[in-house]
């Protein structure tokens, strides 16, 4: 895996839409501000825009971070389904969406994109609980 990029900057739209929770092994961990669903975003430090183009060691580390977040959503937070996507149509910086889903959530069974109309805010305590659950501290 490559060393962190000293000039790495998160895309302004990600910063506007998300709260920064910290760092995992290979990615920056963000939480989407809309608390209607547990929607986490992982951002690797790279200039590449496609996950599959990452060098294999970095790709495997990024996927391990995705697995860690997915396991937290299913195991600790009790979401039976996890949706994972790296779309990048609006934000060109490579980022991976990892979203906890369950029957009866505001979009179920549709995808969240274009169907999430409910807007809810996290309390500081909820943000900290999610951060601690994933980062383990």
Identify the CATH number of the domain defined by range 12-135.
3.30.428.10
Strands (E), the chain: 18-23, 27-32, 39-44, 81-85, 96-101
| 3-36 tens-digit pLDDT | 455 689 999 999 999 999 999 999 999 999 999 9
Taking the model in full, what pTM does it have? 0.93
Could you check whether the bond before residue 89 is cis, i.e. omega within 30 degrees of 0? no
62-101 confidence digits (pLDDT tens): 999 999 999 999 999 999 999 999 998 899 999 999 999 9
Sign of the alpha-carbon torsion through 6, 7, 12, 14: negative
Compute the CA torsion angle 87, 57, 61, 114 (nearest 10 deg).
0
């Amino acid at each position: 895996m490559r060393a962190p990029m000293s000039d790495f900057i998160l895309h302004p739209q990600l910063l506007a839409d998300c709260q920064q929770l910290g760092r995992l092994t290979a990615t920056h961990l963000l939480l989407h501000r809309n608390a209607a669903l547990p929607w986490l975003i992982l951002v690797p430090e790279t200039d590449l825009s496609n996950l599959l183009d990452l060098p294999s060691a970095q790709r495997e580390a990024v996927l391990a971070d995705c697995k860690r977040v997915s396991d937290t959503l299913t195991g600790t937070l009790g979401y039976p389904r996890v949706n994972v996507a790296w779309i990048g149509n609006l934000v060109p910086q490579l980022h991976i969406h990892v979203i906890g889903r369950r029957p009866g959530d505001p979009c179920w069974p549709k995808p969240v994109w274009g169907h999430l109309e409910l807007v809810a805010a996290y309390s500081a305590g909820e943000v900290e609980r999610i951060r601690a659950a994933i980062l383990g501290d």
